[in-house]
Structure 1
Amino acid sequence: MEKIALITDTTADLTDELVEKYNIKVLSFRIIYKDREYRDKIEISSQEVYDGFKKEVPTSSMPALQDMEDVYDQLEKDGYTHVIGITLSLGLSGIYNGLTLVSKNHPNIKSHICDSKSISLGEGALVAECAKLIEKGKSFDQIVSEIPNIQKRIHLFFVVGTLEYLIKGGRIGKVTGTIGTLLKLKPIISLDYDGKYYTYAKVRGRNQSLSKLVEIAKEISDKKSCIAYAMHGDAEEDTLKVKEVIGKLPNIKSIQYGGCISPVSGVHSGPGLVGLVLVEEE
């Protein structure tokens, strides 16, 4: 009898309720200041990160390999036979490589480590869909074979208050960088097939960028009905306004408010992020 565990990381922005319901193991990234270090979401909150930007912008690192080993050790003790690991995009972090390495140290558990090629609730939606398949009694092989199809149905878009933090953190990818800042561009950012940021649409000004998110939601949902998620990075008011408008679109079956993104994501995106995830229904 298969006993399948799910492993992910804090950037997936899963709710505590979902983590508890499906017993998902969540690995914490690290937030690193000059004289101290915190475990993402456990020892520091997103708001504390944003509030501290004036004094210091921290760096980050992936979860410790020992944390991954500890999770696997516990899963073996608990009798799990299989693991599906879904990580932050390899284009943004080395966690996929780390978890793959650790999984090979545990041959008694058959593992499939998946690069989500996404972040936040783009990654989280993939975890949630896999959790539902486990609940339905699907086999490990059935779920693994379905993952690419799920990924094709997930679309993530976001706009940031300033490109400054993406530039500082080296996460700018194919997004218009310093020139975009000078031109006051507010690009709609998404992730490409390599899981790296790119400019999905060029927009000038905050209001236009938020309107563009709504337009994108309409374009995608006109073709296929969707469930949606809205999340923010120190921009709750703007996000709730966008959520309200998108929720009224005819083919948006539901829209959930995901709250604030993880502290580690906030380090790299800075304040002012409004994010949108669309999951096409089958």
Structure 2
Amino acid sequence: MGNIRIVTDSTADIPVDVREKYGITMISLKVLFGEETYRDAVDLTPEEFYARLKTSPVMPTTSQPSPADFVEVYEALLKEDPTGPIISLHLASVLSGTFQSATIAKSMIEVEGADIHVIDSCSASYGHGMQVLLAAQMAEAGASVEEILAAIENRQKNYEVYFLVDTLDYLQKGGRIGKAAAMIGSLLNIKPILSLEPNGAVTSVEKARGSKKAMAKIVEMLKQKLGDEPVALIVAGTDDEAIRNELEARVTAELNVKEVHHTTVGTVIGTHTGPGTSAVFLYKV
């Protein structure tokens, strides 16, 4: 058996240097501003995207990779090493058809003995990315496919995530909430706190008046769930470093954080949450 290869998509929001360090192959989703199409994390940086998002008269949309996009990647990897297993880990299937495209592509591969495992991360952004990174680190350390798949399943069940959204406008434009709720929320300065259900669906868990109260609520919920357990913290932000930094400071002050990592909420997830979004992902270490 050859080396295990890890494939993911751009919504994992894994920093480029980390992807390159572990040899992770990435397939991009696309962001569309009207007739203009950009490959997420390739043609359009998050900085460019959030600046444009604030001023664009056109609400961006997103689209998944096609099965043909995955076939091209799988066949290239199999050409390099026909015996090497491929673990292909993707954005929650309840949020995107990316997982389905990868699954269809797997059925189209005609290389004899090809060993491809397509996994639904049941998550988004770095909730997805942390699973990919775990798989890549274990593969580099010589773990088996079975060990990696078991570790991914365990991580899916044992992490915490909260998104702090600055405005309800993008959730409303994307059909997540009604127009009246968005208008009232904006008038009252209500900051929704979002999380992910076990299958990856976005859910609103709390609301607070203003960012500081929302951050305090996030810390309170994390303390209730994690207590004094040692944890790793990943902080993801968009274009508002002050909010992200304050959220990180509050979490590290109140929880037993042993390591901190940073990433950026990419263009695809950002299309639906908007600028000013910050997120924290935690798992026990």
What is the TM-score when the length of structure 1 is the normalising length? 0.91
Q: Tell me the SS of whatever aligns to 2:242.
A: helix
- Post-superposition offset of 1:151: 0.9
Q: Distance in 2 between matches of 1:272 and 1:231?
A: 11
Q: Tell me the SS of whatever aligns to 1:231.
A: strand
Report the residue type matching 1:86 in the other structure.
L
- Post-superposition offset of 1:181: 4.6
- Post-superposition offset of 1:250: 4.9
Residue correspondence of structure 1 range 1-282 to structure 2 within 5 A: 1-53=1-53, 54-55=55-56, 56-80=58-82, 81-106=84-109, 108-170=113-175, 172=176, 178-179=180-181, 181-183=183-185, 184=188, 185-222=190-227, 224-258=229-263, 260-281=264-285
- Post-superposition offset of 1:87: 0.7
Tell me if the contact between 1:5 and 1:24 (Cα under 8 Å) persists in the aligned partners. Answer: yes
Q: Distance in 2 between matches of 1:180 and 1:57?
A: 16
Report the residue type matching 2:4 in the other structure.
I
Q: Distance in 2 between matches of 1:177 and 1:22?
A: 44
Q: 1:223 to 1:244 in 2, by over 3 A?
A: closer
Q: Distance in 1 between matches of 2:182 and 2:37?
A: 32
Q: 1:51 to 1:250 in 2, by over 3 A?
A: closer
- Cα deviation digits, residues 223-266 of structure 1 (max 9, x gap): 532100111122211101211232234521112122x2111111
- Post-superposition offset of 1:146: 2.7
Tell me if the contact between 1:2 and 1:140 (Cα under 8 Å) persists in the aligned partners. Answer: no
- Post-superposition offset of 1:150: 1.4
Q: Distance in 1 between matches of 2:280 and 2:221?
A: 10
Tell me if the contact between 2:6 and 2:87 (Cα under 8 Å) persists in the aligned partners. Answer: yes
- Post-superposition offset of 1:189: 0.5
Report the residue type matching 2:184 in the other structure.
L
- Post-superposition offset of 1:201: 2.1
Q: 1:44 to 1:249 in 2, by over 3 A?
A: same
Tell me if the contact between 1:234 and 1:272 (Cα under 8 Å) persists in the aligned partners. Answer: yes
- Identity of aligned pairs, percent? 30
- Give the number of aligned pairs: 277
Q: Distance in 2 between matches of 1:44 and 1:133?
A: 31
Tell me if the contact between 1:62 and 1:94 (Cα under 8 Å) persists in the aligned partners. Answer: yes
Tell me if the contact between 1:225 and 1:252 (Cα under 8 Å) persists in the aligned partners. Answer: yes
Q: Tell me the SS of whatever aligns to 1:156.
A: strand
Report the residue type matching 2:280 in the other structure.
L
Report the residue type matching 2:21 in the other structure.
K
Q: Distance in 2 between matches of 1:114 and 1:212?
A: 33
Q: Tell me the SS of whatever aligns to 1:104.
A: helix
**Which blocks of at least 5 consecutive residues in structure 1 are unaligned?**
none
Range moving further from structure 2, 103-112 or 2-11: 103-112
Report the residue type matching 1:85 in the other structure.
S
- Post-superposition offset of 1:33: 1.9
Q: 1:59 to 1:158 in 2, by over 3 A?
A: same
